[in-house]
A and B are shown apart, each in its own frame.
Chain A
Amino acid sequence: MRRNLIIGAFLTAVFVLAALVSFFWTPFDHTAMSIPDKFQRPNGEHLLGTDHFGRDILSMIMVGARTSIAVALVAVGIGMGFGVPLGLAAAARKGTWLDEVIMRGNDLVFAFPSLVIAILITAVFGAGAINAIIAIGIFNIPVFARITRGAALSLWEREFIMAARVSGKSATRISFEHILPNVMNLLIVQGTIQFSLGILAEAGLSYIGLGAQPPTPSWGRMLADAQTLVSIAPHIALIPGVAIILTVLGLNLMGDGLRDYLDPRLRVSRA
């Protein structure tokens, strides 16, 4: 399905671009309040309208994209940075105590209700973007460890790995030089999926006040602000929600498309 990839990449590009452009230019200052202009519906001057303080919603969405993307990106980085080496090690030492400890550790992290732990971490160490990143990142580790181990296990049975072993390479070198490049496709696909989950998680945490703190704009907090005003000005609740949906949808479509594009053999319907 090439179409998925194109639509997904387009949506993702729009939001990444919006986030990048916001560093140099936004239609208005996203913190500038102007009470006389509050609750404006989308119009020629304010393309997406204004909120209860008269702030320009388009500008806030653009800067909010920055927060969402940064949090999700670093959280995926944490997951890959720890999860991939763990998965490689578990596969290289299959069946040993190391494998057992890593996989049991994985099961354990999976068993924790992620949202409750994220709330716990932000509550214990304080609310803020950094702690939200850590909370989301920790739960990405077992995902990447498991997928890396699964793919690496079948690679270890292949002949070219056998050849590398015969030539005297250590398990560590084989893991990084031969196994890792061959599981990279899989990791990229999983990365886009975890990225989209990260954006949803960040929005959820910010919504209950544990993510990015004011004045850093975030889509989740825009929704929290909008909650009590939804009957007066539905657009201030509608727009951040649509932004989240389109971004997540774009990333998911891109992930699906990438999987089919990179490796047609992996074409299994994603659950």
Chain B
Amino acid sequence: MLNYIFKRFLSLIISLAVASLVIFFVIEVAPGDPAQFMLGINAQPDTVAALRTELGLDVPKWQRYLGWVAGLVTGDFGTSYTYRTPISTMIADRLWVSLPLAIYALTLSTVIAFPAGIYAAARRGKGGDMAVMGATQLGVAVPNFWFAMMMVLIFAINLRWFSAGGFAGWDKGFWTGIHSLTLPAVSLALPQAAILARVMRSALLDILGEDFMRTARAKGLTRRQALWRHGVRNALIPVLTIIGLQFSFLLAGSIIIEQVFYLPGLGRLVFQAISSRDLIVVESVVMLLVFAVITVNFLVDLAYAAVDPRLRSRT
């Protein structure tokens, strides 16, 4: 087990190193000098040069790369070109929107998907299964930003239950914050719930065919008891993997939904930073997101290996 953990950890470090190289150099080829962009086209060349020195743009690329990585490791993400504030505080502020939104959406999606998937598997081939599977087909096909627009139309404009956009902030109280995140969370959750329900159903169907399920029935458990005690519990492993992946997706993938609802989250931070050529912010936020995904995958692998010893021999 220790050997396995070490191997996986090594490949985690290599992945992170390669990812940081890719991100840094993709951004480096970006046309447009940040200093020139900030000062405008009419700026004096020596003013631009001075700003380049101030921002540290005149040192060789590889030196800047090493400095950036060293900063990341110590938690110093650098300073934003446009806002002149430490990027770590900007990210922390945005995380207070993105993280609760991702958790909220994931909770909703799980709460919808679990019963739907279990119900469909238990009624395989019957009307209820068909209905759930039809609904998930539709759920996968709906673009979440369009669904968000439709919900704004119905619940914000016509019924006036929610505001059409913006974030009230947590200092006005927990429920006010939750209230303003509800429409975005629902629009993020629905397509995810459709995918999760399908995974839940197929994982459960695989389990239902196992010998130990027959044994459970043979020893006198009812269908329902066997389903819950032995079926659902065993089906959870693949489902948890997907939930892990969806969480990292939600953290990064809410960028369009944040745009629909004008939410000040991580996604919008990247989007705004790109349009104002605030490349150091883009680099650091993208790296953070990639770090989150790679780490979640690493933890999922470890959890797998802890549960199932057969996986440890695989590298």
Residues of chain A at the chain B interface (Cβ within 8 Å): 104, 107-108, 111-113, 115-117, 119-121, 123-124, 196, 200, 203-204, 207-208, 223, 226-227, 230-231, 234, 237-238, 240-241, 244-246, 248-249, 252-253, 268-271
**Cross-chain contact of B145 among A116, A119, A223 (Cβ < 8 A):** A223
Additional A-B contact list (7), CB under 8 Å, known A112-B19, A223-B149 = A107-B15, A111-B15, A111-B19, A116-B252, A119-B271, A123-B275, A227-B149
B170 in contact (CB, < 8 A): no
Closest to B253 in A: A115
Q: Contact check, A115 vs B252: say whether CB atoms are below 8 A apart.
A: yes
Stretch from B35-43, B59-67, B133-141 at the A interface: B133-141
Q: Contact check, B157 vs A231: say whether CB atoms are below 8 A apart.
A: yes
Lowest 8 CB-CB distances: which A-B pairs, in order?
A113-B252, A269-B202, A241-B146, A248-B141, A123-B274, A249-B141, A124-B30, A271-B199
Q: Contact check, A108 vs B145: say whether CB atoms are below 8 A apart.
A: no
Closest to B203 in A: A271
B286 in contact (CB, < 8 A): yes
- Closest approach, in angstroms, between the C-beta of A143 and any C-beta of chain B? 14
Q: Contact check, A124 vs B29: say whether CB atoms are below 8 A apart.
A: yes
> Chain A residues with Cβ under 8 A from B152's Cβ?
230
Q: Contact check, A115 vs B256: say whether CB atoms are below 8 A apart.
A: yes
Q: Contact check, B202 vs A268: say whether CB atoms are below 8 A apart.
A: yes
Given A203-B143, A231-B157, A116:B149 Cβ within 8 A: no
> Chain B residues with Cβ under 8 A from A245's Cβ?
138, 141-143, 146
Q: Contact check, A204 vs B153: say whether CB atoms are below 8 A apart.
A: no
- Closest approach, in angstroms, between the C-beta of B37 and any C-beta of chain A? 13
B53 in contact (CB, < 8 A): no
> Chain A residues with Cβ under 8 A from B255's Cβ?
115-116, 119, 208
Closest to B259 in A: A208
Bound-state Cα–Cα, A203 to B256, Å = 11
Interface of chain B: mostly helix, strand, loop or mixed: helix
Bound-state Cα–Cα, A270 to B242, Å = 13
> Chain B residues with Cβ under 8 A from A108's Cβ?
15, 18-19, 22
**Cross-chain contact of A237 among B140, B142, B153, B282 (Cβ < 8 A):** B153
Q: Contact check, A249 vs B202: say whether CB atoms are below 8 A apart.
A: no
> Chain A residues with Cβ under 8 A from B150's Cβ?
237-238, 241
B173 in contact (CB, < 8 A): no
Bound-state Cα–Cα, A145 to B54, Å = 45
Bound-state Cα–Cα, A186 to B256, Å = 32
B207 in contact (CB, < 8 A): no
Closest to B249 in A: A113
Q: Contact flags (1/0) for B234-253 with A, using CB distance below 8 Å? A: 00000000100000110111
Given A116-B270, A208-B271, A111:B141 Cβ within 8 A: no
Q: Contact check, A111 vs B297: say whether CB atoms are below 8 A apart.
A: yes
* Residue from B15, B146, B150, B242 having most chain A Cβ neighbours under 10 A: B146
Q: Contact check, A113 vs B253: say whether CB atoms are below 8 A apart.
A: yes
Closest to B202 in A: A269
> Chain B residues with Cβ under 8 A from A248's Cβ?
140-141
> Chain B residues with Cβ under 8 A from A227's Cβ?
149, 260
> Chain A residues with Cβ under 8 A from B145's Cβ?
204, 207, 223
Q: Contact check, B30 vs A207: say whether CB atoms are below 8 A apart.
A: no
B306 in contact (CB, < 8 A): no
Bound-state Cα–Cα, A208 to B272, Å = 12
Q: Contact check, B256 vs A207: say whether CB atoms are below 8 A apart.
A: yes
Given A113-B248, A248-B141, A252-B137, A269:B274 Cβ within 8 A: no
- Closest approach, in angstroms, between the C-beta of B315 and any C-beta of chain A? 8
> Chain B residues with Cβ under 8 A from A244's Cβ?
141, 143, 146
Closest to B148 in A: A227
* Residue from A115, A208, A271 having most chain B Cβ neighbours under 10 A: A271
Closest to B204 in A: A269
B311 in contact (CB, < 8 A): no
> Chain A residues with Cβ under 8 A from B143's Cβ?
200, 203-204, 207, 223, 241, 244-245
- Closest approach, in angstroms, between the C-beta of B252 and any C-beta of chain A? 3
B193 in contact (CB, < 8 A): no
Q: Contact check, A119 vs B270: say whether CB atoms are below 8 A apart.
A: yes
Bound-state Cα–Cα, A204 to B253, Å = 11
Stretch from B68-76, B80-88, B218-226, B287-295 at the A interface: B287-295
Bound-state Cα–Cα, A234 to B157, Å = 11
**Cross-chain contact of B205 among A113, A119, A196, A269 (Cβ < 8 A):** A269
> Chain B residues with Cβ under 8 A from A113's Cβ?
248-249, 251-253, 286, 289-290, 293
- Closest approach, in angstroms, between the C-beta of A112 and any C-beta of chain B? 6
Q: Contact check, B201 vs A269: say whether CB atoms are below 8 A apart.
A: yes
Closest to A269 in B: B202
B50 in contact (CB, < 8 A): no
B131 in contact (CB, < 8 A): no
